[in-house]
Structure 1
Amino acid sequence: MRNCWLLLLGCLATACGGNFSNDDLEFLNALPSREDLASKLPASSGAVSEGALRQRSDALAVGEPSQLYRDTREASDAFNTGLDGLLTLLEELRQLPPTTRAPEVRVWGPWADPKHPGHEVRFAIKREPDSFTYLLQYRPRGSGEDGWWSAIEGTFQPDGGLRKGTGAVRILIQQTKAHGFDAGKLAGLDLLEIVYQTRALPITVRMRFVLASPPPAPELLYAYRELPGGLGEMGFLLEDTDLLPGTQKEDLAIISRWTKDQGGVGVISVTGGDVPAGFTATQVECWDASFRITYMKRSWETAVVGNASECPDVSGLEE
């Protein structure tokens, strides 16, 4: 999918010219930005390398690299990978004026698609009475208006302020692959849905990854929240997966909250399956600014590692 988007960017760069009108900017402001949607989990560097995070011993102790930070890092990276191609396309689109203007429509293209000879591509935004809709579409050349099919479809409902409101984007990967297009890093999915709101703090983003598997296809659910000053939260849910010894499958949930420069707090919860009825297996783990354990407690053990007073204050994100 990313390959398709990058090719579209090449079309945009060579085919457009001119200036923006104020009305053009209103249409473009309906598109989500990287600053609004991407996870901003602090990256590991300096005191703890990625290699060190992978070498934590089984005998946990204060100062060990935090596995839960690593799990959060992987979830954050997967979250941002799902967004990257879309946001890169929209960033480039904002630099280029539309090819066609109508009172309630802006269109970029159509242009020939160099990756898929005989196909054309376009991006269109339509203004409704109280919202905007947009589509990234392809068609076989010469097939007419009925030949267009959508690879991306999105909506945005403004609610005061620049790019403030609620929106949703669906990346239609199954349809894209069915037309013979390269889905790149998203090839293992059939659908990626993104729902977000920027009208009030905390900013929230939810993503649903539908895996390309026989029905019923498993799903991965991510949720991200953000407050000014670097306070963030990543939630991850994987249902019906084999986590514990036994014949049944469990549900795994991870919620991690972090500060800009004082570390974070994560909670793992496992329910159902081979977990005893009425019981939730939980692990709480805190890490410092160097991504090392300061506190850890498991619900099935009496021993505690470290001191809970060393956990950073992430109460600003509590419901």
Structure 2
Amino acid sequence: MRTCWLLLLGCLAACGGNFSNDDLEFLNALPTREDLSSKLPGSSGAVSEGGLHQRSDALAVGEPSQLYRDTREASDAFNSGMDGLLTLLEEIRKLPPTTREPEVRVWGPWPDSNHPGHEVRFAMQRQPDRFNYVLQYRREGSGEEGWWSAVEGAFQPDGGLRKGTGAVRLLVKETKDHGFEVGGLANLDLLEIVYQTRALPITVQMRFVPALPQPASELLYAYREIPGGLGEMGFLLEDTDILPGTQKEDLAIISRWTKDRGGVGIIAVTGGDVPAGFTATQVECWDASFRITYMKRSWETAVVGRASACPDVSALEQ
């Protein structure tokens, strides 16, 4: 999918012109990187190798937090899932539409140099209560009925600049069925993003639907943020093999963090080889250097560190 978007960016770079005030109303209906991306402090190399669920040995205060690492990996996957789309939308904001109608704006169509004989366009339609937009391709000469969509999106404004609710669907299966490369999304049939920016906390949900036949479960991510650098990342993976045994469990991770005082994460495993009626949990806190300050597992009596060392993230617990 990113390959397709980069081709469109090349087309956009060759264009230029002026915006009308009405053009800007359309463009403000498109999500921005600031609106949607996870802002977890640190970088992917901030902690040591190895996933938390792979660690069974005793941990100690001052060791790198593996739960932070899991959160970092989830945050990176979350951001990379929408990176190509957001890059495309950033470029579109720089350029005026090639076609203007009272309730429609269209960028293109342009020849798709990577798929000879195809054209590409980005189109938006304004309705009384929402904006709809699509990224589409067609074979040259196939007419209006030949367009097919690789991306579908909608935004319902609700007061204020870019305030409201929106959804974007990356139609990976349809794109693959037309013979187009989709890069890192090849194992998916659909990537869906749903978000709201009308009120705090800003929330973003992302759903990865694996390609059929499905050897893996859907991946669900949820992100929230409030001013001051407080953020939350939730991750849900159902029907997966987490614990030793013959059955599969459901894994949920929720991590909350501050801008510069570390974070708190909770792992919950249910079903499968976990005894009925029991939830296996691990609570772990890390400091600004992403090192453990506190850790407690529900199946152990020992506690690492002190709970008082955990940062205050109560503002996100509502």
Tell me the CA shift for residue 59 of structure 1. Answer: 2.7
- Matched with 2:157 is 158
- Determine if the alignment matches structure 1 residue 143 to structure 2 residue 139: no
Q: What aligned pairs does 1:1-319 form with structure 2 within 5 A after superposition?
A: 1-14=1-14, 16-44=15-43, 49-50=45-46, 52-54=48-50, 58-215=57-214, 218-319=217-318
Tell me the CA shift for residue 188 of structure 1. Answer: 1.5
The CA RMSD measured in Å over matched residues stands at 1.4
Aligned amino acid, residue 11 of structure 1: C
Q: Distance in 2 between matches of 1:52 and 1:217?
A: 27
Tell me the CA shift for residue 245 of structure 1. Answer: 1.4
- Kindly indicate whether the alpha-carbon contact (under 8 Å) linking 2:51 and 2:66 is maintained by their aligned counterparts in 1: no
Q: Distance in 2 between matches of 1:226 and 1:19?
A: 34
Deviates more, 1:119-128 or 1:185-194: 185-194
Aligned amino acid, residue 6 of structure 1: L
Aligned amino acid, residue 13 of structure 1: A
Tell me the CA shift for residue 214 of structure 1. Answer: 0.7
Tell me the CA shift for residue 196 of structure 1. Answer: 0.1
> Normalization by structure 1: what TM-score?
0.96
Q: 1:257-306 CA distances to partner (integer Å, 9 max, x unpaired)?
A: 00000000000000001100000000000000000000000000000000
- Kindly indicate whether the alpha-carbon contact (under 8 Å) linking 2:251 and 2:270 is maintained by their aligned counterparts in 1: yes
Deviates more, 1:199-208 or 1:55-64: 55-64
- Kindly indicate whether the alpha-carbon contact (under 8 Å) linking 2:74 and 2:235 is maintained by their aligned counterparts in 1: yes
- Kindly indicate whether the alpha-carbon contact (under 8 Å) linking 1:44 and 1:290 is maintained by their aligned counterparts in 2: no
Q: Distance in 1 between matches of 2:315 and 2:114?
A: 48
SS in structure 2 at match of 1:262: coil
Q: Distance in 2 between matches of 1:183 and 1:119?
A: 16
Q: Distance in 2 between matches of 1:51 and 1:205?
A: 26
- Kindly indicate whether the alpha-carbon contact (under 8 Å) linking 2:165 and 2:198 is maintained by their aligned counterparts in 1: yes
- Kindly indicate whether the alpha-carbon contact (under 8 Å) linking 2:51 and 2:70 is maintained by their aligned counterparts in 1: no
Q: 1:138-181 CA distances to partner (integer Å, 9 max, x unpaired)?
A: 00110000100000000000000000000000000011011111
Distance 1:279 1:205, change over 3 A: same
Tell me the CA shift for residue 212 of structure 1. Answer: 1.6
SS in structure 2 at match of 1:52: coil
SS in structure 2 at match of 1:218: coil
SS in structure 1 at match of 2:198: coil
Tell me the CA shift for residue 185 of structure 1. Answer: 1.4
Deviates more, 1:209-218 or 1:77-86: 209-218
Sequence identity percentage: 82
Q: Distance in 2 between matches of 1:181 and 1:76?
A: 27
Gaps of 5+ in 1: none
- Kindly indicate whether the alpha-carbon contact (under 8 Å) linking 2:153 and 2:168 is maintained by their aligned counterparts in 1: yes
Tell me the CA shift for residue 213 of structure 1. Answer: 3.7
Q: Distance in 2 between matches of 1:11 and 1:80?
A: 25
Tell me the CA shift for residue 44 of structure 1. Answer: 3.9
Q: Distance in 2 between matches of 1:317 and 1:217?
A: 31
Q: 1:42-99 CA distances to partner (integer Å, 9 max, x unpaired)?
A: 0148xxx546354998330000000000000000000001110000000000000000
Gaps of 5+ in 2: none
Tell me the CA shift for residue 215 of structure 1. Answer: 4.4
Q: 1:211-262 CA distances to partner (integer Å, 9 max, x unpaired)?
A: 1241486200000000011000000000001111111110000000000000
